[in-house]
Amino acid sequence: MNDLQQLGQILLQSIFAQNLVFIRFLALCSFVGLTADFNSAVGMSWAVTFVTVLASAVSYVVYHFLLVPFNLEYLQTITFILTIAVFVQLVEIYLKKAIPSLHRMMGIYLPLIASNCMILAVALLNVTEKYNLLEATVFSLGASIGYALALIIMAGIRERLRYAKVPELMKGYPLIFIASAFIAIAFMGLQGLGR
Amino acid sequence: MNILTVILYSTIVLLLLSAFFGFFLGFFSKVFKVKEDPRIEKIASILPGANCGACGFSGCQVFAEAILSGKARLDGCRAGGEETIAHISEAMGMSSDSSYEKYIAVALCHGGRNEANTSAITQGVSSCQMAKNLKLSPWVCEYTCLGYGDCVLACPFGAIVINEDSLPVIDPILCRGCGICVDRCPQKILELFPNKSRVLCFCKSADKGSKVRQACKVGCISCGLCEKKCPENAIEMINNLPVIDIEKCTLCGVCISVCPTKAITLFQALSEKK
């Protein structure tokens, strides 16, 4: 029961209180770049969720069974980057063969994911927070749900902004940054969740 | 642990890891190899490869796939011209009954440094978009070509140069009519026209005559002479600018000769220039 409670805590924390986009300010590049249209935001969210959960599990194994025994913890960043890049490539090759429809939907986002700092951050946070494999998986799932939430909220806002009268000076990115700052303030109000 | 063993260990572990991943990926790409239609590669190599997007697809590769799946027309590549369409038809084993028409971008402003008046000197402005957004135009005319050359940078075929008069000059041979510059121009000076001779008003100013006179020597002062003198009644003044009905126009040249500021000029088609 206690375990289950803790897992729930980690999930809620990673979605809201420690939301990677709005509280930790990670993955802002894809957050700004892919929210112009709702469908691509949803596609990217799916692809990120898929890769984050699997890549964090794989990098957990690499860290604990390869780096720790050799006292090579300081190599974590470079090995995690390697692992994630390989994994993204693998997913792309597999999807292209096995599920072409999904590949067509996610395909263009997969190379973007390889350089998405959120996935590396999740893998690194798993190490610093000393999670076990189950906790790490739950944390990465929560983090990617939080990312999806951020993308979907922003895509919705941007679809409405398209019909709003905006001063010429504020059009485009300035307004997006202001809007995301407001959402970030709102997310700070959720700090108590999962404590 | 001394420093040498540390270096040795980290090198070996990383080497092993990357070698393992490399083999793993190589193995998987063999196992999950997808056979692609060889015609995609062939058609993609025929296309200009500028990824200009004039066909409505996001790039030449995507357009090639769309041709094979029947989503795009064989003559969809406007940038490639007749030659490309003929090659694609040949590769697809179909006869080319293309309705291809060459388009050329035209800059509808003749108010350069010598003709138009300036009201200010601007420094540090590097693009037309910037000048437009910050309202930092040096020109008196609000509708003028700003001359910072956003179109030059946008053109994937290198067909546009800004001349010493700070006006864009478009090479009609190099221009493939993709329309990227038309979208990029913040002043909407550039427009696409079919490669046919026609009468054009090289001014976009919607201001009244007196205001245009203060701003520019070659602007349309909306005097309406062309409208009155046109024997075919093909010209109508809308928003202080002449709108020429291409169906009625017979290229008689009366409007060109009566225009007091020479804003109306003949745009010559490429084939007739040679």
A174 at B interface, C-beta within 8 A: no
Same domain, B179 and B253: yes
B121-146 confidence digits (pLDDT tens)? 888 888 899 888 888 888 888 899 99
CB distance A92 to A162 below 8 Å: no
Residues of A in contact with B136 (CB under 8 A): none
Whether the pLDDT of residue A111 is over 80: the answer is no
State percent of chain A over pLDDT 70. 96
Is position B27 within any domain?
Answer: no
Same domain, B68 and B154: no
Highest mean pLDDT among A31-45, A161-175, B25-39: A161-175
pLDDT of residue A182: 93
Contact (CB<8Å) A97/B134: no
Whether the pLDDT of residue A1 is over 70: the answer is no
Is position B30 within any domain?
Answer: no
Nearest CA in chain A to B23: A86
Provide the CATH number for the domain around residue B81.
1.10.15.40
Q: What is the mean pLDDT of chain A?
A: 86
Same domain, B81 and B202: no
Residues of A in contact with B34 (CB under 8 A): 96-97, 100
* Position B160 confidence tier, pLDDT thresholds 50, 70, 90: very high
Same domain, B171 and B208: yes
In B22-149, at which residue ranges do the beta strands (DSSP E only) sit? 103-107
Is position B32 within any domain?
Answer: no
Same domain, B148 and B269: yes
Q: What is the mean pLDDT of chain B?
A: 84
Same domain, B215 and B260: yes
Q: Classify B264 as helix, strand or coil.
A: strand
CB distance B146 to B128 below 8 Å: yes
pLDDT of residue B274: 43
Same domain, B260 and B130: yes
pLDDT of residue A86: 87
Cα separation, A29 vs B194, in Å, equals: 40
Cα separation, A137 vs A52, in Å, equals: 9
Is position B19 within any domain?
Answer: no
Element (H, E) at A99: none
Q: Is the pTM of this model over 0.80?
A: no
The structural domain count of chain B equals 2
* Position A157 confidence tier, pLDDT thresholds 50, 70, 90: very high
State percent of chain B over pLDDT 70. 96
* Position A117 confidence tier, pLDDT thresholds 50, 70, 90: confident
Is the complex ipTM more than 0.85?
no
Same domain, B119 and B255: yes
* Position A106 confidence tier, pLDDT thresholds 50, 70, 90: low
CB distance B270 to B175 below 8 Å: no
Cα separation, A143 vs B184, in Å, equals: 39
Same domain, B123 and B80: no
pLDDT of residue A156: 92
Is position B211 within any domain?
Answer: yes
- A57-61, A154-158, B97-101, B135-139, range with the lowest pLDDT: B97-101
Which residue range is the domain that position B216 belongs to? Answer: 103-273
B14-61 confidence digits (pLDDT tens)? 899 899 989 988 888 888 877 777 788 888 888 887 777 777 777 788
Same domain, B86 and B174: no
Is position B25 within any domain?
Answer: no
Rounded to the nearest angstrom, the minimum Cα separation between B130 and chain A is: 10
pLDDT of residue B99: 61
Nearest CA in chain B to A98: B32
